[in-house]
Amino acid sequence: MEDRRRLFEEISSIVNQLQLKGEAIDGALLQQQVLSKFTEPIQRHVLRKRRELMSGDPWSTNLLLKTVDNYIQTELDIHRQMEFRQSNTESTTAQGNPNPWKKPGLGAIQLREEKKGFTCFFCEQKGHPQKVVRNSKVARKE
């Protein structure tokens, strides 16, 4: 995404220089050439925006560049947020909490393991609830 940002800055600089020299920058040919330099997702986004604005303001090269800039900035923000979230997930996983949104505590599996730790009242063995033995032959013998 950084390379797209650099490309945008170069093209924007060239268009500004053309405008300062008095050249007409709002021609369809120049806009098509500028747009063709960007990737397909950017082109699609710009063409959608152009379609939305067809009834309103006239489409200009500066508006095209502003739309490209907004798209690239949004994608960079999303990318940074995803990297931030991923780095937080990795750091919390390294600290022993696999889910950064969940506080460490007793999960269902841990509770089941603790229940298995109790000794059965009837047979004095671990790993099963007392009601299982209550109905078995061992409980009936007593």
The 10s digit of each residue's pLDDT in 85-130 is 777 776 665 565 555 555 555 555 555 555 556 667 677 777 666 6
* The one-letter amino acid at 50: R
Share of the chain above pLDDT 90, in %: 46
Q: What is the pLDDT of residue 33?
A: 95
Q: Cα 22–35–71 angle (5° rounding)? A: 110
Q: What is the pLDDT of residue 13?
A: 95
Q: What is the pLDDT of residue 53?
A: 84
Q: Which of 12-21, 72-81, 93-102, 120-129 has the lowest mean pLDDT?
A: 93-102
- Half-sphere exposure (Cβ direction) of 108: Cα atoms closer than 13 Å: 0
Q: Specify the pTM.
A: 0.58
Q: What is the pLDDT of residue 94?
A: 59
Q: What is the pLDDT of residue 124?
A: 72
Average pLDDT value for residue range 4-12? 94
- Cα(110)–Cα(139) distance, rounded to whole angstroms? 28
Answer whether residue 138 shows pLDDT above 60: no
